[in-house]
Amino acid sequence: MKLQISHQTNYYYGEQAQRSVQYIRMTPMDLPHQTIHRWDVLLPKVATNLKDGFGNEWLTLSRNETHDNLQMQASGIVEINTDTERLEDLAHVPYLLFTVQSPLTKCSEAMREFAAPFLQNVTHDSLKTLANELIMIMPFVKNVTHVGTTASEAFELKAGVCQDHTHVFLGLLRDQQIPARYVSGYLYDDTENHMASHAWAEVYLDGYWYTFDISNQAFAPNSHVYVAIGRDYLDTAPVRGVRMGGGYESLYSQVLVTRLS
């Protein structure tokens, strides 16, 4: 399936920023699951192109001139294999790294008690059941969490978005030393345009990585474009950085994913 993707992100500052450094992950990964036919990232000036330790494309944008906004536009055409059932492991990233909790995924006692019945005998089916139970008690609700909300906080709220569902699921599995990683990317939805970047979990079972998209109850990446993998949101965030000055900032972001063939 060939997809056309447009991802626009604009930050507006209340005051002039004197300088800033931004780390941008908006380029799809090079994987057997997907072929990048064309991809461009338009930035205010030339950025340095690197790869991080997980193999994610990483643009570093440094601005030493005064500015009151940051505008970014990523777009291109990516073809995905809709028959993909699982992904091969990445040799350069030890899968055991993804058994370690991060501050965003740390498991609470309430989370542990909820998951216990489903993790007594871990199989792909038992994890799908866990994913189904999780969305039942923690439905998708916008604007109740933020990028810094932890798994335990979201679980206590019993609501959240894809990032929160993924953090909770990762926390539950890592608590049992089951390797589970965070994936950010794009989702094609044939009923409506998906207006934001997406996140889902992958679990290492029997030597392969299996998809667990909690928010959509999808267990194969047949509508998913991979942009970055990591331990949690902070490893895969489309934009992270620091600036000197600028005051309060407002954000406008929009993602459009349409099918070409």
Cβ atoms 186, 225 nearer than 8 A: yes
Cβ atoms 209, 224 nearer than 8 A: no
Rounded-to-5 percentages of helix, strand, coil across the chain = 20, 40, 40
Q: Which amino acid is it at 188?
A: Y
Residues 74 and 189 placed together within one structural domain of the fold: no
Q: Residue 95, class by beta-carbon neighbours within 10 Å (0-12 exposed, 13-18 middle, 19+ buried)? A: middle
Residue of 60, 29, 64, 67 whose CA lies nearest to 46: 60
Task: Output the DSSP codes for 138-174.
Answer: S-B-TTS--TT--HHHHHHHT-B-HHHHHHHHHHHHH
pLDDT at residue 87, rounded to an integer: 97
Q: What digits encode the pLDDT tens for the residues 202-232?
A: 999 999 999 999 999 999 999 999 999 999 9
Residues 109 and 178 placed together within one structural domain of the fold: yes
> b/e string for 127-159 if b means 16 or more Cβ within 10 A?
beebbeebeeebeeeeeebeeebbbbbbbeeeb
Q: Is the pTM of this model over 0.85?
A: yes
pLDDT one digit per residue (tens) for the chain, 261 residues:
999 999 999 999 999 999 999 999 999 999 999 999 999 999 999 999 999 999 999 999 999 999 999 999 999 999 999 999 999 998 889 999 999 999 999 999 999 999 999 999 999 999 999 999 999 999 999 999 999 999 999 999 999 999 999 999 999 999 999 999 999 999 998 876 556 689 999 999 999 999 999 999 999 999 999 999 999 999 999 999 999 998 988 988 899 999 998
Residues 125 and 142 placed together within one structural domain of the fold: yes
- Residue 133 structure tokens: 């139970």
Q: Residue 92, class by beta-carbon neighbours within 10 Å (0-12 exposed, 13-18 middle, 19+ buried)? A: exposed
Residues 177 and 152 placed together within one structural domain of the fold: yes
Q: What digits encode the pLDDT tens for the residues 83-111?
A: 999 999 988 899 999 999 999 999 999 99
- What's the domain range around 27? 2-81+238-259
Q: Which amino acid is it at 156?
A: E
Residue 51: CATH number of its domain? 2.60.40.2250
Residues 97 and 224 placed together within one structural domain of the fold: yes
Domain count within the chain: 2
